[in-house]
């Protein structure tokens, strides 16, 4: 006999419906799964067989054929186990359910018949709409799928529970969560900018970066607080909107990272991959493309600590996502696009030993060693980083000072204001932040007065500012003027912006 059940697969960040056909017929005992299964799907026959037996049913010693349709898309992962098991029970007439057509089913089975959590339930719930009466899924995924508010969610714990519920579907109770309170609860950071003593110049630079969405390079001796500052950066970014939270949550759902985060990502992600991470893990990859770190930090911060230690190919692979705010990954049979709207923070020492810029310690590196160390960062990558901040070693009196530092929430207020100025300015444009302005937009929106022009000319001629730095200075000046709520860019804004490009001159000039 033939039975049909329904489930969903994941392609990139989107889902697609899958029909699972199970046929039990006479023949030599064997279970065959067709429809481009990967090895996790192929292994599901062993899990399904044992789970069925251990749940008190019989696994027929006959020829069982399972077809996952559409048959031309590669199926991945163990999430079809539960739907296959229900199909096997229905096809072998051990259960008689009329409502199998009404529900989509997701879940991995353990050998004792328990239903284990799977990846990607949020994009699946988001795409379901009215096609089914609801989604039956592992209890541990209920919270993340309910965030979609798009379909009925029915959490289950065991195979037996699913069979019992489907035998009398009027007993099915949809799971609901209060998304607004979930969102409010999860919106909390454990760190704060007030933890960082001194470093007023660096903090101001980070404020400018947060206001205009500029990327940052922090350069300084060991222990000066680069990592500490970077970790606190998300706390001064404006709160995530629900739409942004859903975009980011969807990505984390596909990667199975949500269970510890209470169903929704409500704080801006801060990802800090180790410098041995491969290019595929940073930008995304695999034969069935998965999001990489640049996508996992979408709407948040990607922090590359010890930048020169990263492989050259990793750094070069960042160029497209930084330019386009998305990553396109093409494989022989498909191409997927992952979003990547991030602020990149890089940190590095100025030389191999790290003490070149530390007045209290001697640097042992030769000029050639320093050059070799710095040349690991290519010009085109440096070109995409608007703000270069030299982080000085902290003096003992600053460290011991009882002075209270400004907390994140009060810095954030200024940033929210500056961003609303940008929102108004770019209302009819495609870009959203000053950092994303095109050359023609720079021309249109960055009017500089005579005094400012004179200062720019001096910077180019006397400070040796490169042509590439020129546009950056204008964009940065625009952001600084927005923080000041000034319509026009003034000379003082240009002067501050030039300071954030000084590394061009000091280290790479
Ligand atoms: N401005 C500061 N205020 C308070 N504590 C600080 C400050 N700067 C550094 N520290 C202390 O020093 C520790 C080391 O700082 P951090 O790890 O950020 O240095 P780093 O610049 O990243 O060094 P490295 O180059 O070795 O990675 C911090 O955990 C913190 O305890
Ligand atoms: Mg560090």
Q: What is the pLDDT of residues 479-500, one digit of tens each?
A: 999 999 998 899 999 999 988 9
Q: Residue 261's pLDDT is what?
A: 63
Using DSSP bridges, classify how beta strands 153-156 and 134-138 pair: parallel, antiparallel or unpaired: parallel
Task: Verify whether ligand 1 is closer than 6 Å to residue 228 (CB atom).
Answer: yes
CA of 333 to the centre of ligand 1 (A): 47
Q: Residue 502's pLDDT is what?
A: 64
Q: Report d(CA 84, CA 37) in Å as an integer.
A: 13
Q: Closest ligand to 305 CA? A: 2
Give the pLDDT band (50/70/90) at residue 507.
Answer: low
Q: What is the mean pLDDT of residues 55-80?
A: 90
Q: How far is CA 467 from the centre of its chain?
A: 33
Q: CB-based contacts of 496: which residues, under 8 Å, 6+ apart?
A: 208, 476, 477, 480
Q: Report d(CA 266, CA 188) in Å as an integer.
A: 8
Q: Report d(CA 16, CA 470) in Å as an integer.
A: 47
What Cα–Cα distance (Å) separates residue 66 from each residue in 42, 69, 153, 210?
Answer: 10, 10, 26, 52
Between residues 414 and 329, the one the model is more confident about: 414
CA of 225 to the centre of ligand 1 (A): 3
Poorest-pLDDT segment among 87-101, 138-152, 331-345, 354-368: 354-368
Task: Verify whether ligand 1 is closer than 6 Å to residue 398 (CB atom).
Answer: no
CA of 301 to the centre of ligand 1 (A): 19
Q: Whose CA is nearest to atom 15 of ligand 1?
A: 225
φ, ψ of residue 156 in degrees (nearest 5)? -135, 160
Element (H, E) at 120: none
Task: Verify whether ligand 1 is closer than 6 Å to residue 107 (CB atom).
Answer: no
Q: Report d(CA 350, CA 329) in Å as an integer.
A: 34
Between residues 467 and 195, the one the model is more confident about: 195
Nearest to 105 by CA among 125, 130, 82: 82
Q: What is the mean pLDDT of residues 238-260?
A: 89
Q: What is the mean pLDDT of residues 188-193?
A: 90
Q: Whose CA is nearest to atom 5 of ligand 1?
A: 196
Poorest-pLDDT segment among 58-62, 200-204, 399-403, 416-420: 399-403
Let me know if 342 is exposed, middle or buried by CB neighbors in 10 A (0-12, 13-18, 19+).
buried
Q: Whose CA is nearest to atom 18 of ligand 1?
A: 225
Topology agreement, domain 2-177 and domain 437-509: no
Using DSSP bridges, classify how beta strands 270-271 and 335-339 pair: parallel, antiparallel or unpaired: unpaired
Poorest-pLDDT segment among 175-179, 250-254, 260-264: 260-264
Q: What is the mean pLDDT of residues 217-239?
A: 92
CB atoms under 10 Å from CB of 38, counted, come to 14
Q: Residue 21's pLDDT is what?
A: 94
For the domain spanning 186-408, the CATH number is 3.40.50.300
The answer to whether 374 and 507 are in contact (CB under 8 A) is yes
Per-residue pLDDT for 508 more than 60? Answer: no
Q: What is the mean pLDDT of residues 352-361?
A: 76
Task: Verify whether ligand 1 is closer than 6 Å to residue 226 (CB atom).
Answer: yes
Task: Verify whether ligand 1 is closer than 6 Å to residue 393 (CB atom).
Answer: no
Per-residue pLDDT for 332 more than 80? Answer: no
Q: Whose CA is nearest to atom 13 of ligand 1?
A: 223
Give the pLDDT band (50/70/90) at residue 503.
Answer: low
Task: Verify whether ligand 1 is closer than 6 Å to residue 349 (CB atom).
Answer: yes
Q: What is the mean pLDDT of residues 300-311?
A: 92
Q: Which residues surround ligand 2, an ion (CB under 5 A)?
A: 227
Fold of 437-509: Helicase, Ruva Protein; domain 3 (1.10.8)
Q: Report d(CA 315, CA 377) in Å as an integer.
A: 8
Interhelix angle 491-499/467-483, nearest 10 degrees: 120
Q: Report d(CA 130, CA 123) in Å as an integer.
A: 15
CA of 479 to the centre of ligand 2 (A): 27
Q: Whose CA is nearest to atom 27 of ligand 1?
A: 222
Give the pLDDT band (50/70/90) at residue 339.
Answer: very high
Q: What is the mean pLDDT of residues 26-40?
A: 86
CA of 305 to the centre of ligand 2 (A): 6
Q: Residue 504's pLDDT is what?
A: 64
Q: How far is CA 167 from the centre of its chain?
A: 41
- For Cα atoms 10, 173, 115, give the angle at the middle one, nearest 5 degrees: 45
Q: Residue 73's pLDDT is what?
A: 85
Give the pLDDT band (50/70/90) at residue 179.
Answer: confident
Q: Closest ligand to 231 CA? A: 1
The answer to whether 10 and 119 are in contact (CB under 8 A) is yes
Between residues 138 and 466, the one the model is more confident about: 138
pLDDT tens across 421-460, in order? 999 999 988 888 999 998 899 988 998 888 888 888 887 7
The pTM for the full model equals 0.90
Give the pLDDT band (50/70/90) at residue 210.
Answer: very high
The secondary structure of 161-217 as a DSSP string is: HHHHHHHSGGG-------HHHHHHHH---S--GGGS-S-HHHHHHHHHHHHHT--EE
What percent of the chain is predicted at pLDDT more than 90?
50
Q: Report d(CA 125, CA 212) in Å as an integer.
A: 34
The answer to whether 386 and 209 are in contact (CB under 8 A) is yes
CA of 508 to the centre of ligand 2 (A): 21
Q: Residue 218's pLDDT is what?
A: 94
Output the CA torsion sign for 367, 273, 416, 398: negative
**Per-chain mean pLDDT for the chain:** 88
Q: Which letter, b or e, does each residue of 86-117 get, where b requires 16 or more Cβ atoms within 10 Å of its Cβ?
A: bbbbbbbeebebeebeebbbbbbbbeebbbbb
Work out which ligand 1 atom sits closest to the CA atom of 349: 25
What residue spans define the domains of the chain?
2-177, 186-408, 437-509
3-state secondary structure of 265: coil
Q: Whose CA is nearest to atom 14 of ligand 1?
A: 223
Tell me the residue ranges of DSSP E strands in 333-406.
335-339, 343-348, 387-390
CA of 201 to the centre of ligand 1 (A): 16
Q: Residue 216's pLDDT is what?
A: 95
Nearest to 441 by CA among 429, 449, 453, 451: 429
The answer to whether 399 and 190 are in contact (CB under 8 A) is no
Q: What is the mean pLDDT of residues 53-77?
A: 90
Task: Verify whether ligand 1 is closer than 6 Å to residue 392 (CB atom).
Answer: no
Task: Verify whether ligand 1 is closer than 6 Å to residue 50 (CB atom).
Answer: no
Between residues 72 and 465, the one the model is more confident about: 72
The answer to whether 126 and 16 are in contact (CB under 8 A) is no
The answer to whether 129 and 152 are in contact (CB under 8 A) is no
CA of 229 to the centre of ligand 2 (A): 9
For the 2-177 domain, the top CATH level (class) is alpha beta
Task: Verify whether ligand 1 is closer than 6 Å to residue 224 (CB atom).
Answer: yes
Q: What is the mean pLDDT of residues 267-290?
A: 89
Between residues 378 and 45, the one the model is more confident about: 45
Task: Verify whether ligand 1 is closer than 6 Å to residue 357 (CB atom).
Answer: no
Task: Verify whether ligand 1 is closer than 6 Å to residue 477 (CB atom).
Answer: no
The secondary structure of 409-450 as a DSSP string is: HHHHHHHHHHHHHHHHHTTTSS--SGGG--HHHHHHH--B-H
């Amino acid at each position: 006999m033939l039975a049909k059940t329904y489930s969903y697969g994941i392609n990139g960040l989107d889902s697609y419906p899958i029909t699972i056909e199970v046929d039990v017929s006479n023949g030599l005992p064997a279970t065959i799964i067709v429809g481009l299964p990967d090895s996790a799907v192929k292994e599901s026959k062993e899990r399904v067989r044992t789970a069925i037996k251990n749940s008190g049913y019989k696994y027929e010693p006959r020829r069982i054929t399972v077809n996952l349709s559409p048959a031309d898309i590669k199926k991945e992962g163990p999430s079809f186990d539960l739907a296959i098991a229900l199909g096997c029970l229905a096809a072998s007439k051990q259960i008689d359910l009329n409502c199998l057509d009404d529900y989509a089913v997701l879940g991995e089975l353990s050998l004792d018949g328990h239903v284990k959590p799977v990846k990607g339930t949020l994009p699946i719930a988001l795409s379901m709409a009215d096609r089914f009466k609801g989604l039956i899924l592992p209890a541990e995924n209920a919270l993340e799928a309910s965030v979609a508010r798009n379909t009925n969610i029915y959490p289950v714990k065991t195979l037996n529970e699913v069979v019992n519920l489907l035998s009398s579907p009027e007993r099915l109770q949809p799971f609901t969560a209060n998304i607004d309170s979930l969102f409010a609860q999860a919106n909390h950071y454990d760190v704060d900018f007030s933890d960082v003593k001194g470093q007023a110049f660096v903090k101001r630079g980070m404020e400018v970066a947060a206001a205009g969405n500029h990327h940052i390079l922090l350069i300084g001796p060991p222990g000066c607080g680069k990592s500490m500052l970077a970790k606190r950066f998300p706390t001064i970014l404006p709160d995530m909107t629900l739409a942004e939270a859903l975009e980011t949550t969807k990505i984390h759902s596909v990667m199975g990272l949500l269970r510890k985060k209470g169903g929704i990502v409500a704080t801006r992600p801060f990802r800090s991959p180790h410098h041995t991470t491969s290019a595929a893990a940073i930008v995304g990859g695999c034969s069935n493309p998965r999001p990489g770190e640049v996508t996992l930090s979408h709407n948040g911060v990607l922090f590359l600590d010890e930048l020169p230690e990263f492989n050259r190919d990793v750094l070069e692979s960042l160029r497209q996502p930084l330019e386009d705010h998305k990553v396109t990954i093409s494989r022989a049979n498909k191409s997927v696009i992952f979003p990547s709207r991030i602020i990149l923070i890089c940190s590095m020492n100025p030389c191999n030993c790290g003490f070149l810029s530390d007045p209290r310690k001697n640097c042992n590196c030769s000029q050639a060693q320093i050059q070799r160390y710095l040349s690991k960062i290519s010009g085109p990558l440096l070109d995409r980083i608007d703000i270069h901040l030299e982080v000085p070693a902290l003096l003992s009196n600053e460290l011991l000072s009882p002075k209270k530092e400004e907390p994140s929430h009060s810095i954030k207020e200024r940033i929210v204001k500056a961003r609303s100025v940008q929102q108004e300015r770019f209302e009819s444009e495609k870009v959203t932040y000053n950092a994303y302005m095109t050359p023609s937009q720079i021309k249109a929106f960055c009017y500089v007065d005579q005094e400012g022009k004179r200062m720019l000319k001096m910077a180019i001629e006397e400070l040796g500012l490169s042509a590439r730095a020129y546009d950056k200075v204008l964009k940065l000046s625009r952001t600084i003027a927005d923080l000041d709520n000034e319509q026009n860019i003034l000379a003082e804004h240009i002067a501050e912006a030039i300071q954030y490009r000084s590394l061009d001159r000091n280290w790479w000039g």
